[in-house]
A and B are shown apart, each in its own frame.
Chain A
Amino acid sequence: MKRFTQKLGLVAMMATAVLFTTSCDKEEETPVNESKVSSNTVKDLDASETYVYYNLSSNEIVPASDSASDKWDIAFYSTTILINSGTSGPGMGEAQVVELSFDEITEAPETGYAMDSESGNAVPKGSGNGWYNYNPSTHIVSPIPGRTIVLKTADGEKYAKVEILSYYKGAPANPTYEENGADGRVYTFRYSIQENGTAQF
């Protein structure tokens, strides 16, 4: 038994050493343009009454009075998601829905972005087209797993990736029409934003 504990201690020490070494390596490899990815999860954002505008850099709701400014990056109301651009706002934002999981996107795509316009939003509306599936028999809206919104912020300078996690309050595992009503409209989402202006997440 004693010998076993000694062995265990040795293994633990070795493991710690390896960990330290690898983390040190990482720091050394950091490019001149220092990566500043901040990741957040926003819980129960109530978008049931009107558009809710959000600034991803400050991780804050922007008052609706500032909707005509570039203070917001993304807005939510019902199942509609706006990007601050074109018909939705004065910003230089752009977005696309990428069919990869949040974690798989380590670099924002170079092309494929669109602005909100008369012919449609950058994040398309409709069941199966954009970020959600609507089940007509249960009236439940489910975010499609493996769909990630990649966007440029309102100033057109930073990349962010956004994944909608739930459309119902408290992000229940199995939302039902009876308990949540037809509306839901309460967003839980997570995002990462690269503050250094590169496309790396």
Chain B
Amino acid sequence: MQLRRVILFIAVSISALTAGAFTISGTVLDDQGAPLPFAIVSLDSTLGNPSDMDGHFLLKNVSAGTHELHIHFMGYEETYVPLTVSKDTSLTISMKATQLSLPTTVLSISRSPSSIEDAPVPITVITKEQIERTASIRLQDVLIQQAGLSITNDHGQGIQIQGLEADYVLILMDGEPMVGRSAGTLDLSRIPLGNVERIEILKGPASSIYGSEAMAGVINIITKKGSKKPITLSGDLKYATNNTWNMNVGSGFSKGKLSGRVDLNRYSTDGFDLTPNTISQSTPAHSSYTVAPSLNYRISDKLSFGVQGRYFTEDQENLVTFSFDEGDEVMNETANQTDWSVSLILRWKISKALRSNTRVHYTGYKTFTDYAHLDDGSLYDSSDFQQHYARVEQQFVAFLKDNHKIVTGIGVAQESVDASRYRTEHTFQSAYAYGQYELKYKGFVFLPGARFDAHSEYTNGQLSPKLAISKGLGKKWKVKGSVGTGFKTPDFRQLYLSFTNPTVGYSVFGSMVLDEELERLEEQGQIQSMLVDPSEMEAIRAESSLSGQFGLSYKPSSKLSLSFGAFHNDVKDMIETLPILTKTNGQQAFSYVNLNKVFTQGLDAEIDWRPTTRWALSLGYQFLNTGDKQVIEDIKAGTIYTRDHETLISTKVKLENYGGLFNRSKHMATMRLFYTHPKGGWSGSLVGIYRSRYGYQDINGNAILDDESEYAEGFMLWNLAISKKLNQNVGLQAGIENLFGYTAPQYQPGLSGRIFFATVRLGLGN
């Protein structure tokens, strides 16, 4: 032992004697010849020093012999320079920008890694760089920057894809579903972006692999995992108008076979009020915490195990006016929503050609709303909602020769809901199996797939097939097309709701509890007359769609890419409320039935242009056309009328005046402009978002969108952010969101006026 130490000491001494003899100096430049400040220069994988403002670096005490320099700079390809040192050395290193800095693989198309280049379906990736550069902190901030995605406000902020409502967009966190929707909307502000690696947006139905809800598309949030370094720590703090604070802290570690990460987010805001003449705030004060830990353990080269979790809780306070016969009363509203999840995954490389992924996922959501009298704080009304979802899935991914790939999976899930508006707790089970085959042949990619869902509450299973094909035409052109089906099972509300409005007295019943609720009303003598014969009502079915997507892309150089798309979604059996009976109090009772057939169709285009490494410009556009097929038939038959505002005379609606579905803009466009200054660590981002006018509500009583007065005006939003990197570890950012302060209290209650913000970013060991 003693001897070994001595030998070690001698060895170190010798290296110390020979080392230190030489220096390596140099300059790091971008491919335009401009210096890159703060590039990380490492020698033989020991962490080195950053280059200075002018791109210069200096490494001292370098021993003679062969070495490898490693230069790292975000947005540029990793560069390795082998060199033999026998004297002081000076060199110039040119970094090559990574083109469009897009990841090469995505996870959402087949629930396993697949190449984005070969993707035969429309997929968009939002990178963490885009999130950072645009100073986005919640999911809706960054989704609104994508052409064709529009933010809706209905019991939370939701996302509309290809003109289909938030109800039909599946939101996934690392491939696992999130639950907890109010009136169909999964509130996007529940998702902070601090720990997001990238966001994958799949447009068009994906029920062939994801099942229910994936009718309009899928948003898959991929979070940051583990660490390649022993330990990293990063964080940022943002302050903005309305006393809004957002703080992210994230830490990753790696030790042997174990790696992990934990992220915290704290958000609070005073909210804002666009309608000072009303008691309630447009967006009330709220605050939230999010914690997201994950661990990954590499058991062997073939086996690894991952576990991750999430806990989110948000509190909100507001004042609300209630109207009673004795007059109005202002009350205190307190609300909370909380969600949590735990996911386990066991990855097993059975052989070179076969992988197995076993996933267990449990998630829950609960919310409550209390109304209390202001004077004594006593409770007037309280409502709550709780949902649990658990599933187990076994997936196999098989790689055949010639890049063929087969993905199959089977799973079972159990879901339960308990709420003050349901009489009892309800539970249902589902089981599913899916398969997808990726076949590459002579420049073609064929991607047929199907999924079968069985459900304990429905007699009929749901089969969702899809076929996607792409074909490269030369090196620059690519054409792709897909046909597929989507579906959405009726939600708990549509099945089990049992609600009677306490002040007005109307009732809404879920379709599964309608019979027993009718009996109850009958016993209580509350039924005046039936409007529908309940025995003639059909059992409620899943809403389903048939969709076609077509795309053409052109990439003449690494600096420019253009894509063009067309889509058509045909949805049938949409679930609507229907009045069932008149109660003795003069009010009606409603239930849910499959009723409407709607379509959404459109065109979209995107341009990505990076003329130099300094500038990056993205332009996106979507044209959208929607409609209800029954309404169109009725207009053609001349049975829908409109009333003139001035004369009050009724005339038949003309088809050309039909504006389609409400809350859809015919034209939507976005622009993202990024600039990176070669010196001083400066960069900037300018984002523009345009929505043309959209139907807001029926005014003339015919329940359809056909009159000028029924539209909300179009609008344009601009967001500006300037960033400055002080050194390798510290960055500053400041900017203005909604630069021109556009507000529309009636139509966009979630849109604040002009917001100024400033952010400090810290990163250690990243």
Identify the closest chain B residue to A175 (Cβ). B699
Whether a CB of chain B sits under 8 angstroms from the CB of A35 is no
Is B650 touching A146 in the complex (CB atoms < 8 A)? yes
Q: How does the 8 Å CB contact mask read for A118-132 relative to B, with 1 for contact and 0 for none?
A: 111000111111001
Whether a CB of chain B sits under 8 angstroms from the CB of A16 is no
Whether a CB of chain A sits under 8 angstroms from the CB of B18 is no
Whether a CB of chain A sits under 8 angstroms from the CB of B654 is no
Which of B46-54, B608-616, B634-642 is found at the contact surface with chain A?
Answer: B634-642
Whether a CB of chain B sits under 8 angstroms from the CB of A173 is yes
Distance of A142 Cα from B426 Cα, bound (Å): 38
Whether a CB of chain A sits under 8 angstroms from the CB of B627 is no
Is A163 touching B701 in the complex (CB atoms < 8 A)? no
Is B648 touching A129 in the complex (CB atoms < 8 A)? no
Q: Which of A80, A103, A133 contacts B703 (CB 8 A)?
A: A133
Is A120 touching B648 in the complex (CB atoms < 8 A)? no
Is B652 touching A101 in the complex (CB atoms < 8 A)? yes
CB < 8 Å A-B pair total: 84
Identify the closest chain A residue to B706 (Cβ). A145
Q: B622-647: which have CB < 8 Å to A?
A: 639-643, 645-646
Is A126 touching B588 in the complex (CB atoms < 8 A)? yes
Whether a CB of chain B sits under 8 angstroms from the CB of A45 is no
Q: How does the 8 Å CB contact mask read for A139-182 relative to B, with 1 for contact and 0 for none?
A: 01011111100000000000000010110000101100010001
Q: B199-218: which have CB < 8 Å to A?
A: none
Whether a CB of chain B sits under 8 angstroms from the CB of A67 is no
Whether a CB of chain A sits under 8 angstroms from the CB of B113 is no
- The secondary-structure label for the interface of chain B is loop
Is A126 touching B531 in the complex (CB atoms < 8 A)? yes
Distance of A140 Cα from B645 Cα, bound (Å): 16
Identify the closest chain A residue to B703 (Cβ). A133
Q: How does the 8 Å CB contact mask read for A14-30 relative to B, with 1 for contact and 0 for none?
A: 00000000000000000
Instruction: Provide the residues of chain A in CB contact with B639, threshold 8 Å.
Output: 99, 146
Is B652 touching A146 in the complex (CB atoms < 8 A)? yes
Instruction: Provide the residues of chain B in CB contact with A166, threshold 8 Å.
Output: 648
Identify the closest chain B residue to A78 (Cβ). B586
Instruction: Provide the residues of chain A in CB contact with B649, threshold 8 Å.
Output: 101-103
Instruction: Provide the residues of chain A in CB contact with B698, threshold 8 Å.
Output: 133, 135, 142
Distance of A186 Cα from B560 Cα, bound (Å): 63
Distance of A191 Cα from B652 Cα, bound (Å): 19
Whether a CB of chain B sits under 8 angstroms from the CB of A6 is no
Instruction: Provide the residues of chain A in CB contact with B459, threshold 8 Å.
Output: none
Whether a CB of chain A sits under 8 angstroms from the CB of B680 is no
Q: How far is the CB of B398 from chain A (nearest CB, A)?
A: 51
Whether a CB of chain A sits under 8 angstroms from the CB of B114 is no
Distance of A132 Cα from B703 Cα, bound (Å): 10
Whether a CB of chain A sits under 8 angstroms from the CB of B115 is no
Interface residues on A, range: 35 or more
Q: How far is the CB of A58 from chain B (nearest CB, A)?
A: 23
Q: Which of B323, B586, B643 contacts A145 (CB 8 A)?
A: B643
Is A126 touching B651 in the complex (CB atoms < 8 A)? no
Q: Contacts A133-B703, A145-B643, A182-B323: A120 and B582 contacting too (C-beta < 8 A)?
A: yes
Is A137 touching B700 in the complex (CB atoms < 8 A)? no
Is A174 touching B699 in the complex (CB atoms < 8 A)? yes
Q: Contacts A120-B529, A146-B639, A146-B641: A135 and B648 contacting too (C-beta < 8 A)?
A: no
Instruction: Provide the residues of chain B in CB contact with A119, threshold 8 Å.
Output: 528-529
Is B648 touching A101 in the complex (CB atoms < 8 A)? no
Instruction: Provide the residues of chain B in CB contact with A102, threshold 8 Å.
Output: 649-650
Whether a CB of chain A sits under 8 angstroms from the CB of B697 is yes
Is B697 touching A135 in the complex (CB atoms < 8 A)? yes
Distance of A178 Cα from B278 Cα, bound (Å): 9
Distance of A171 Cα from B652 Cα, bound (Å): 21
Q: How far is the CB of A48 from chain B (nearest CB, A)?
A: 14
Is A145 touching B642 in the complex (CB atoms < 8 A)? yes
Distance of A132 Cα from B588 Cα, bound (Å): 14
Q: How far is the CB of A23 from chain B (nearest CB, A)?
A: 23
Q: B684-718: which have CB < 8 Å to A?
A: 697-703, 709
Is B702 touching A146 in the complex (CB atoms < 8 A)? yes
Is B640 touching A146 in the complex (CB atoms < 8 A)? yes
Whether a CB of chain A sits under 8 angstroms from the CB of B579 is yes
Distance of A188 Cα from B649 Cα, bound (Å): 12
Instruction: Provide the residues of chain A in CB contact with B703, threshold 8 Å.
Output: 128, 133, 144
Q: How far is the CB of A157 from chain B (nearest CB, A)?
A: 28
Instruction: Provide the residues of chain B in CB contact with A142, threshold 8 Å.
Output: 698-701
Is A145 touching B582 in the complex (CB atoms < 8 A)? no
Distance of A91 Cα from B699 Cα, bound (Å): 36
Instruction: Provide the residues of chain B in CB contact with A127, threshold 8 Å.
Output: 579, 588
Q: A31-79: which have CB < 8 Å to B?
A: none
Which among A144, A147, A178 has the greatest number of chain B C-beta atoms within 10 A?
A: A144
Is A165 touching B699 in the complex (CB atoms < 8 A)? no
Whether a CB of chain B sits under 8 angstroms from the CB of A138 is yes
- With A80-B586, A124-B531, A126-B588 given, can you name 11 additional A-B contacts, CB distance below 8 Å? A101-B650, A101-B652, A119-B529, A133-B701, A133-B703, A142-B700, A145-B641, A145-B650, A146-B640, A147-B641, A163-B650
Q: List 16 A–B pairs whose Cβ atoms lie within 8 Å, in order of A's numbering.
A: A103-B650, A120-B528, A127-B588, A129-B531, A129-B579, A143-B643, A144-B641, A144-B703, A145-B700, A146-B702, A147-B641, A173-B646, A173-B699, A173-B709, A178-B277, A190-B648
The 8 closest A-B pairs by CB, nearest first: A146-B641, A142-B701, A173-B645, A145-B641, A145-B650, A145-B643, A101-B650, A165-B648
